[in-house]
Amino acid sequence: MAHAGQIAEKRSAMRVQAETIAFVIMVAALIVAPFFVYPIFLMQAMCFALFACAFNLLVGYVGLLSFGHALYFGWASYLAAYAAKAWGLPPILAILTGTAAGAVLGLLAGVVAIRRQGIYFAMITLALAQMMYFVALQAPFTGGEDGIQAVPRGYLFGIVDLRGEVAMYIFVLVIFLAGFLFIYRIIHSPFGEVLKAIRENETRAISLGYKTERYKLMAFVLSATLAGLAGATKALVVQLASLTDVNWPMSGEVVLMTLVGGLGTIFGPVVGAVTIVSMENFLAGIGRWVPVIQGTIFVACVLLFRRGIIGELAAKLRIRL
Amino acid sequence: MFEIFGIPSTALFGQLLIGLINGSFYALLSLGLAVIFGMLNIINFAHGAQYMLGAFAAFLLLQYTGLNYWWALIVVPIILGVVGVITERLFLQWLYRLDHLYGLLLTFGLALVIEGVFRNEFGSSGLPYRMPSALTGGQNLGFMFLPNYRAWVIVASLVVCFGTWFLIERTRLGAYLRAATENPTLVRAFGINVPRMITLTYGFGVALAAFAGVMAAPIYNVSPQMGSEIIIVVFAVVVIGGMGSILGAIVSGFALGIIEGLTKVFFPEASNVVIFVIMAIVLLVRPAGLFGQSS
């Protein structure tokens, strides 16, 4: 037993070491990258990476596949854009408004959706998201097909002008890293351990006395809130909130990002998001074919490498995630 | 003309008819989903795309070979049934031992590919399909005008739905199918080729979607996105009805179509969302669905 314990401890130490190295590399890359790549592209990629991390919190660590995460991303983006433009709120408050919208919508949808598991859960979340897509389509404040355009980025703390690319980049980087570390903290907290227990064997978790429904709802709300944070930030980055962000292909896209990077891995969603966003950017000239390519990647991932980029890499390096 | 609750009767019955038509398609598609799910434990996200393929196949047959609607009604389900069998052999058969979610992801990918290819090839504006000449015109029922084609769609869909129900619930083949759903290992031990049955079931489910697609071609425009528009609503229908029962899928399909039609009369702004709202209410009151057994 002592031997097994030692091995487990060693493995866990190895994992922490690998994660620390990966985190340092990620931060270094994000600091250096804007000197080589368009900052606006990187900022968008970070928003999608945070979105994918938030989604992964639910699918990777609780085992609940949501097919409607565009709901929180898109609606948060609308509310942040509206708060910044129509109410003239400063950027932090606009983003908080959007994030709060994600939280409230997550609570409402979560109460309904967690009543079923597995594929039903996926279908329910998709249907609820589609419902709110129609609401967004018809509600006057969203601007229908036009969306909310020319969203002002405003002044951070009343002094820093976020129209400057450097200031905005640092602002988005801080939000992304804060969100990422928060998710890391959740996953490695006692709460996160219960979530993983539910993923592995919900019946057993119930028999151990955990009120799994509450844990699942809490995880759902956290995931929706962080997706909201990502959507709200994106609204300020691209200065636009539109129907694209709230429609079902966006829900599919975040699933794809996470799947490509590696379900249930910390860095997978980040790698997946960067991969997919770069691909779409690279293929902008043949944009009409993007859904076909995305679909092909879906099929290839499911059939050939279900562990995703990070999962395969970890398996090669013999690191247990 | 008379009025009911302040609504002119022609408007009311007109929307009721549209509701019944939509309900016919919801019923046919959710039936196919339920049959596939029962055997393969896969939610066939590509079902909408296969329905769209059915409509396009009818359109292309008429365009290039001159095969008319009635031929399409027979030939298209067979062709797409074969395509379904090939799809199952190529892709789906590797997923049965994995989490059910992978089936959803894979078929979602297939749906993206199919829809994307057709959108590039035919644009997204939609193409008209001529109504068969035998079914043009309509009947004046006194209180409303009933176009012949719409009456045909409702009758044909009812016949196919109940035919499928009969096949699965009342024949020997259906008994094997139900037994294999319950316990495939045991049924295999009795010498029945379960993997082949699974393959053919998928083919049959796809053929049902294709049949619905052919029937939809003269009513709606034939367009690449017609499948993804309807499939999410059908998912909600399936959640409401519960996938455990064939009859449940049929009844909830028609009922929700009618409710949607009535909403268009009394509260048009909500007609897009009414089915989703009903789904949320049903989940809160009866999580297993109206016809499902709680597990």
Higher pLDDT pick, A223 / A158: A223
CB-CB neighbours of A266 under 10 Å: 24
Identify the H or E element spanning A283.
none
d(CA B29, CA B250): 9
Residue B105 is nearest to which of A248, A291, A302, comparing CB atoms?
A: A302
Q: What is the pLDDT of residue B76?
A: 95
- Section A129-155 average pLDDT: 86
**Closest listed residue to residue B104, CA positions, set A251, A54, A196:** A251
Residues of A in Cβ contact (< 8 Å) with B103? 119
B249 in A contact zone (CB under 8 Å): no
- Report CA Rg, chain A: 19
d(CA B289, CA B277): 14
Q: What is the pLDDT of residue A163?
A: 79
Model confidence at B283, pLDDT cuts 50, 70, 90, reads: confident
- pLDDT(A321) > 80: no
DSSP conformation letters of B163-223: HHHHHHHHSHHHHHHHHHHH-HHHHHHTT--HHHHHHHHHHHHHHHHHHHHHHHTTTS-B-
Residue A134 is nearest to which of B37, B98, B272, comparing CB atoms?
A: B272
Chain A residues 85-144 within an 8 A CB cutoff of chain B = 111-113, 115-116, 118-120, 122-124, 126-128, 130-131, 134-135, 137-138
Inter-axis angle of helices A190-200 and A212-238, to 10 degrees? 110
Chain B residues 119-138 within an 8 A CB cutoff of chain A = 119-120
- Compute the mean pLDDT over every residue in chain B, rounded to the nearest whole number: 88
Higher pLDDT pick, B5 / A168: A168
d(CA A72, CA B148): 45
First to last CA, chain B: 50
- pLDDT(B90) > 60: yes
**Closest listed residue to residue B280, CA positions, set A58, A137, A123, A67:** A123
Q: Would the CB atoms of B43 and A295 count as touching at under 8 Å? A: no
Model confidence at A224, pLDDT cuts 50, 70, 90, reads: very high
Distance from CA of B224 to the nearest CA of A (A): 13
The pLDDT tens digits of the residues spanning B239-268 come to 888 777 788 889 999 999 999 999 988 888
Q: What is the pLDDT of residue B83?
A: 96
Distance from CA of A116 to the nearest CA of B (A): 7
The pLDDT tens digits of the residues spanning B149-203 come to 889 999 999 999 999 999 988 999 889 988 888 888 899 898 889 899 999 999 9
Model confidence at A222, pLDDT cuts 50, 70, 90, reads: very high
Model confidence at A111, pLDDT cuts 50, 70, 90, reads: very high
Determine contact, residues A62/A219, Cβ cutoff 8 Å: yes
Q: What is the pLDDT of residue B3?
A: 65
Q: What is the pLDDT of residue B293?
A: 64
- pLDDT(A2) > 70: no
- pLDDT(B294) > 60: no
Residues of B in Cβ contact (< 8 Å) with A124? 239, 279, 283
Distance from CA of A289 to the nearest CA of B (A): 7
Q: Count the alpha carbons within 13 Å of A21 in the hemisphere toward its beta carbon.
A: 6
* Whole-structure pTM value: 0.91
A206 in B contact zone (CB under 8 Å): no
Q: Count the alpha carbons within 13 Å of B218 in the hemisphere toward its beta carbon.
A: 22
Model confidence at B144, pLDDT cuts 50, 70, 90, reads: confident
Distance from CA of B57 to the nearest CA of A (A): 20
d(CA A219, CA A207): 20
